[in-house]
Each structure stands twice: as structure tokens, then as C-alpha cells.
Structure 1
Amino acid sequence: MATIDTAVEQLMAGEVIAYPTEAVYGLGCDPDNEEAVLKLLAIKQRPVAKGLILIAANYSQLLPYIHDNAIPIERRFQIFSSWPGHVSWVLPASAKAPRWITGNFNSIAVRVSAHPIVQQLCQAYGKPIVSTSANLAGEAAINDYQQLLASIGLQVAAVVDGPLGGATQPSQIRDAMTGEIIRS
């Protein structure tokens, strides 16, 4: 079991960590470190083409990765009023957003999490982290700490223990341009 400080040290060292989110345990790493992202994708057995979600403590942490001016004015209230919370939004990606995060898309999925551990991680790290469920691609998400340790625990550098946020399913994903629900 790792502290927030230990988890941040591992993020800085280019490692993959596991941590609780609103509904399931997640895997995370530094979104700007291609080697760390590829390590995370290998653990999860997920192709880079699918893209990944970034989670943050606040919207300003996401600004380097998104094309803020391209977000329609009429969608901003809906997006910002859902945060911090359990809704991820697919926003236009900035030119600086790494392809190993956006995958085959010109957009990027992001969320400002309300989970206290995620908030602490992102505040202590000073930027967003990658967030994907801590299960192999195609398998059920993990919402039990012992199951996390048994299936993923040895493949990550740090596991932050703590309660899940009480949601019953992974975050809803919505398209910021249309408001359409991509994953409910």
C-alpha cells in the first residue's frame, strides 16, 4: 500500500500506479511520458489506437491537452457543471496532446474527478494523470482491493489503497461537441 507521496514519486519515475476512483480501481501514469503510457497499455493489453482518459484535480490542469477555444459556448455550462464529478468529456485535443494519449482521434477524453484520492494525487503531481480501469481489456472492471492486488498488483510500482467513491459503474463518457452519451 502506497501513500500519495510514494505514488507521486513513482509517477515522476515513469512508473504505473493503481488507485481508487469513483467506481473502480484505475491504472495511471504520466500522460507526457510515452514509455510509461506504453507500459500501462501493455499491462492492460489495450491498443494505443483507442486513446486514454486523463483525470485532473481541476480544469486548468487539462488546458495543455485540450483545444479550449474549440469547445462550443453552448456546451460549456453542461461540461463545467458536471465537474468535479463522474462524467468524462471528449474534447477537441490540442496540437500538443500526445498521440499515445489521443490514439487515432483528434479529441481527448478528460474528467475533473471528485474522488479525494484522485484530487490529492493530481494536486501533488501538479498535472493530470492517465486513468483507465485496472483490468485487462475486455474483462470486468475491478472494484475489490484484494482482486486488484491479485490481478494487477505486481505489475505496478505503487498501489494507493482507499475506498472507492460509491458510483456503481465507470464514468459516463460524453461528446462535448454534441452532448451525445458515448458510454453510459
Structure 2
Amino acid sequence: MKTRVWIVDNIVDKQQVYPQIREAAEWLRAGEVVAFPTETVYGLGADAANTAAVEKIFEAKGRPSDNPLIVHVASRAQAEAVATPLPPVAETLMERFWPGPLTLVLPKRAGAVSERVTAGLPTVAVRMPDHPLALALIEASGLALAAPSANRSGRPSPTTAAHVLADLNGRIAGVIDGGPTGIGVESTVLDCSGDVPVILRPGGVTKEMLSEVIGHVAEAAGGGDEQAAPKAPGMKYTHYAPKAPLWIVAGPPAFLQQLVDESRAEGKTVGVLTTEENKDRYAADVVLPCGTRRELTTVAHRLYDTLRRFDETNVDLIYSEAFPEEGLGAAIMNRLRKAAGGRVISG
């Protein structure tokens, strides 16, 4: 399969449907999969009601079949068409954070989406992306789109069309190239199907932001039951991993440098994931800064690209600095722990 690339300015005129968007929408209605930018990462979209189309997502990504998909919508009406009844707390959150990087896990409407989208669960994950091209594509297609991140399963998520093509060229019908994404880490996933909202995956909408609007918010413990179908993406399996093994180092730069020295003495080529503040403090084979600690939004924005840049080097292993777990730092550390397979060294 030849993967088409549609290059579109991400400043979309609401009064104009771009021919590239129309063509991509036609492919979606025909049951194909198309990658597109959102404000978080690039998604790999297919008609959420078409089981054969959804199967193509799993096939292209090599994704575990018990991992549910997020359904992307462009309107409140589309959300209500796939989820019912909407809990009052969900309505409050939609009003405050949609469109935006917040996914809500809701009771699903029977028959509205393929069982492959929900992994057979009685709930469905729904969000409205805050990106003009994503919204234009959903509106032009007339479909609610099941759309996980547009990468091979387990790899760092894509924040550019080039990342998508590096993983999926020849495996999908096309990709809409709207330039780099903004936030850089996936949406927050909040389970609203029970009595107390529970964060299943931290993201761009932080726990602190949610608590300001709806009060108490719980957090899911651990990564989910290994024997059960996860209720949201990113809970059960290793994700976001570069090719070289990654360790998170919870300690001062001097301790991380000690680990680097020990590994290099064993003949290993070592990479360090750090920040602009500390990049000159390490003597390693490859040192890549990933934003600044003063502004964690820059770390989130560059995280996946930095992990992919390590794949372009010959490092045998990577040591990463740890980050504070408040605010957006919770999402950054969640992704790093997944990328490291839970490997943390404290010192």
C-alpha cells in the first residue's frame, strides 16, 4: 500500500473545506485508516462504527487486541451518539475542557461503536480534540473516529508526520501533515463511569485543573490488572520505548554521572536524557536536552521526539533524569516510566 501524504496549513478557514481534507475523509468513509494531527500527538483514525476499518488500526500498529481506543468527535451531539447517559460531572467537564486534551470514559450507547473499539467493555472513551485539522476531518467525514496514536505499538508516540511515516509508511492509507503537534503527550483519561472520577492516564489536563472544577478526583493505582482488559490506552503494556533500554534516575546529576561512568567503563555507549539546565553537566556519548525544567510544557512537547532521536544514535542504553510529579510532571513521568518498563534507579 502506498501511503498518501496530504500537506495542509493547520490554520483552517472554517468556511472552507480543503480538498486534501475532503479526500482524506473519503478514504475514511471507504473504511481506510488515516493519520491526522491533534493538539497532543498524531492519531490514526478509522470509522469507529466499522469493525473492519478498526481492525486495520490494530493491524497497522501491531496493537494488543484488549487495548481500547479513544473515539474522537467534533461535537457534543457526536459524543451523545456514542455515550449515554452522560453523567453530570462529564457534562461539566465537557463545558470546561472541550475541545481539549481530556478524554472521558463514559457508559457506551449500545451498538454505536464497534466492540473492537471498547475491547468488549461497557464503557467508551471519548474526546473532542482541540486542533483545526482534526475537527475539520471529523466534520468532513461525518464519522466518529477511533484514533490511537499513529505509531507502531510500543514505540514513542508521533508528534510530526515524519514520525508517523517512520513507523507506518506503507501500512496505512494516508497521513495529513499539519506540522508538529502542540502539547506533545497524550490526553488525560478520566473515568466518569463510577461514583468518583478516576484518572486512568495523566495528560495535558492536570489533576489540579480537574480538582478546581469538580472537586475530589482519584487516581488509578499502578498500571492496571495484567489479566484484565484495561479501561483506557496506556494502562497495561510498555509504551513509548526507544530501541535502547531506558532507566530513570531519581537522584542528583552527580549520581547519574556515576552511573554513566560505570556503564562506559563496561564498554557501553551511553545516552543521557536531560534538560537545558543540566546538559553541560554530563560526560556521556550522547546527551540530548528535552526542554527546560523551568517550563515543563517544553519537556512534554519534546519528549517523544527526543526518545526517537536516541534511535538515530548508537547508544546501548539511556539514563533519563526524573521530573517532579506535580502538574504536567505527572504525565511526563507516567510516559517515562512506561518507556523504561518501570526501571527506576534511586540514589
- Shared fold per TM-score greater than 0.5: yes
In the alignment, what sits opposite 1:94?
109
CA separation of 1:176/1:12 partners in 2, compared to 1, >3 Å: closer, same or farther?
A: same
Distance 1:23 1:74 in 2: 23
- Report the RMSD for the aligned CA atoms in angstroms: 1.5
Other-structure match for 2:199: 181
- Return the offset for 1:75: 4.0
Question: Which letter maps to 1:11?
Answer: L
- Structure 1 residue 76: Cα displacement: 2.2
Q: Which has the higher contact order (CA 8 A, sep 6+)?
A: 1
- Partners of 1:163 and 1:121 in 2: how far apart? 15
Residue equivalent to 2:177: 161
State the alpha-carbon separation in 2 of the partners of residues 81 and 165 from structure 1. Answer: 22
- 5 Å-filtered alignment, 1:1-16, equals 1-2=5-6, 3-16=20-33
In the TM superposition, what is the alpha-carbon distance from 1:58 to its structure 2 partner? 0.9
Which residue is equivalent to 2:53?
36
Identical residues among aligned pairs (%):
34
1:76 partnered with 2:59: no
CA contact (8 A) 1:64 1:96 kept: no
1:109, 1:135 → 2: CA distance?
Answer: 19
Change over 3 Å in CA distance of 1:74–1:22 after alignment to 2: closer
The counterpart of 2:150, out of the listed 113, 134, 139, is: 134
Residue pair 1:75, 1:179 contacting (<8 A) in 2 also: no
1:48: how far off? 2.9
User: Does 1:21 pair with 2:45?
Assistant: no
8 A Cα contact 1:79 1:176, kept in partner: no
Deviates more, 1:113-122 or 1:42-51: 42-51
1:64 aligns with 2:81: yes
Assess if the C-alpha contact under 8 Å between 1:30 and 1:36 holds in 2.
yes
Give the match's secondary structure for 2:111.
coil
- CA 1:76–1:62 in structure 2 vs 1: closer, same or farther (change >3 Å)? closer
Q: Indicate conservation of the 8 Å contact 2:104/2:192, yes or no.
A: yes
Q: Is the 8 A contact 1:16 1:28 kept in 2?
A: yes
Counterpart pick for 1:110 among 123, 126, 129: 126
- Residues 148, 75 of structure 1: alpha-carbon distance in 2 compared, 3 angstrom cutoff: closer
Retained in 1: the 8 A contact 2:48–2:143? Answer: no
Show structure 2 runs of 5+ residues with no match.
Answer: 7-19, 203-347
Q: Structure 1 unaligned segments of length 5 or more: list them.
A: none
- 2: CA distance, partners of 1:75 / 1:37: 26
Counterpart of 1:92, as a letter, is P
Q: Aligned equivalents of 1:146 and 1:76: distance in 2?
A: 36
Count of residues in Structure 1 that have an aligned counterpart in Structure 2 = 182
Kindly provide the CA deviation profile for residues 56-96 of structure 1, in whole angstroms up to 9, marking residues without a partner as x. Answer: 111111222111x2x33244212332101111110111112
Corresponding letter in the other structure for 1:182: L
Distance across 1 between alignment mates of 2:179 and 2:139: 19
Confirm or deny: 8 A CA contact 1:6 1:158 kept in the other structure: no
Q: Distance in 1 between matches of 2:127 and 2:143?
A: 12
Classify the secondary structure of the residue corresponding to 1:132.
coil
